[in-house]
Chains A and B, each alone.
Chain A
Amino acid sequence: MTSADDCIYPSDRLYLVEQDLWIKPLSDNVYRVGVVKPFLFFVGKPHKITVRQAGTLAKKNTMLAVLSNPRADAALLAPVDCYILETNQGLTPELLVKNPYEEGWLANIRVEEPLTKAVDSSAAAEKFAAINAERGVACLETLADYRFTVFGETCENILTQVGDFISRYLKVGESLHVITTDPATEVDMIAYAERTGHKLLEIKKIGKLLHVIYMRAV
Chain B
Amino acid sequence: MDNTLIDIMTYANPSVLADVDWLKANLGKSGIAIIEVDYDPKLAYEQGHIPGALLIDWRKDMNKPDERDIIGPEEFEKLMSRLGVSNDTHVILYGDYNNWFATFAFWVFEMYGHKKVQILNGGRKKWIDSGGELTKEVPTPRPAVYKVEKVNYANRVFLDELLREKVGKADLVLVDVRSPAEFTGEITAPPEYPNEHAQRGGHIPGAINIPWGQAIREDGTFKSAEELKQLYASKGVTPEKDVVTYCRIGERASVTWFVLKHLLGYPRVRVYDGSWTEWGNLVRFPIERQR
Contact residues of A with B, CB < 8 Å? 18, 42-43, 50, 52, 59, 61-63, 66, 70-75, 77, 135, 146, 148-150, 165, 168-169
Given A63-B131, A66-B128, A72-B96, residue A169 in contact with residue B47 (CB < 8 A) = no
Q: Let me know if B44 and A72 touch, CB within 8 A.
A: yes
List 17 additional contacts besides A71-B192, A75-B134; criterion CB under 8 Å: A50-B129, A59-B133, A61-B134, A61-B135, A61-B136, A63-B134, A66-B129, A70-B191, A71-B40, A72-B96, A73-B128, A77-B136, A165-B191, A168-B186, A168-B187, A168-B191, A169-B194
Q: Let me know if A148 and B40 touch, CB within 8 A.
A: no
Q: Let me know if A62 and B124 touch, CB within 8 A.
A: no
Q: Let me know if B191 and A62 touch, CB within 8 A.
A: no
In order of increasing CB-CB distance, the 8 nearest A-B pairs are: A72-B43, A169-B191, A75-B48, A73-B125, A71-B192, A62-B133, A61-B135, A168-B187
Which residues on A sit within 8 Å (CB–CB) of B96?
72-73
Nearest-Cβ distance from residue B135 to partner chain A, whole angstroms? 5
Cα separation A43 to B124 with both chains bound (whole Å)? 16
Q: Which residue of B lies closest to A62 (CB)?
A: B133
Which residues on A sit within 8 Å (CB–CB) of B192?
70-71
Contact residues of B with A, CB < 8 Å? 40, 42-44, 47-48, 96, 124-125, 128-129, 131-136, 186-188, 190-192, 194-195
Which of A59, A77, A148 meets B48, CB within 8 Å? A77
Q: Let me know if A43 and B191 touch, CB within 8 A.
A: no
Which residues on B sit within 8 Å (CB–CB) of A52?
131
Cα separation A63 to B195 with both chains bound (whole Å)? 32
Cα separation A136 to B192 with both chains bound (whole Å)? 16
Which residues on B sit within 8 Å (CB–CB) of A150?
194-195
Cα separation A135 to B40 with both chains bound (whole Å)? 11
Which residues on A sit within 8 Å (CB–CB) of B188?
168
Q: Which residue of A lies closest to B98 (CB)?
A: A73
Cα separation A169 to B42 with both chains bound (whole Å)? 25
Q: Let me know if B42 and A75 touch, CB within 8 A.
A: no
Q: Let me know if A77 and B40 touch, CB within 8 A.
A: no
Cα separation A63 to B128 with both chains bound (whole Å)? 7
Q: Let me know if B131 and A43 touch, CB within 8 A.
A: no
Given A148-B194, A165-B194, residue A62 in contact with residue B132 (CB < 8 A) = yes
Given A72-B96, A73-B128, A165-B194, residue A42 in contact with residue B136 (CB < 8 A) = no
Which residues on B sit within 8 Å (CB–CB) of A59?
133
Which of A18, A43, A63 meets B43, CB within 8 Å? A43
Nearest-Cβ distance from residue B48 to partner chain A, whole angstroms? 5
Q: Which of B48, B135, B195 has the most CB of A within 10 A?
A: B48
Nearest-Cβ distance from residue A107 to partner chain B, whole angstroms? 14
Which of A70, A73, A148, A168 meets B124, CB within 8 Å? A73
Q: Let me know if A135 and B135 touch, CB within 8 A.
A: no
Which of B40, B44, B124, B191 meets A146, CB within 8 Å? B191
Q: Let me know if B134 and A77 touch, CB within 8 A.
A: yes
Given A150-B195, A168-B187, residue A62 in contact with residue B44 (CB < 8 A) = no
Given A42-B43, A75-B47, residue A70 in contact with residue B190 (CB < 8 A) = yes
Cα separation A149 to B126 with both chains bound (whole Å)? 30
Q: Let me know if A169 and B187 touch, CB within 8 A.
A: yes
Which residues on A sit within 8 Å (CB–CB) of B194?
148, 150, 165, 169
> Can you pick out 10 interface pairs between chain A and chain B where the beta carbons lie within 8 Å of each other?
A42-B43, A61-B133, A62-B133, A71-B40, A75-B48, A75-B134, A77-B48, A77-B136, A165-B194, A168-B188
Cα separation A70 to B194 with both chains bound (whole Å)? 13
Q: Which residue of A lies closest to B187 (CB)?
A: A168
Cα separation A61 to B47 with both chains bound (whole Å)? 10
Cα separation A98 to B96 with both chains bound (whole Å)? 27
Cα separation A50 to B96 with both chains bound (whole Å)? 17
Cα separation A150 to B195 with both chains bound (whole Å)? 8
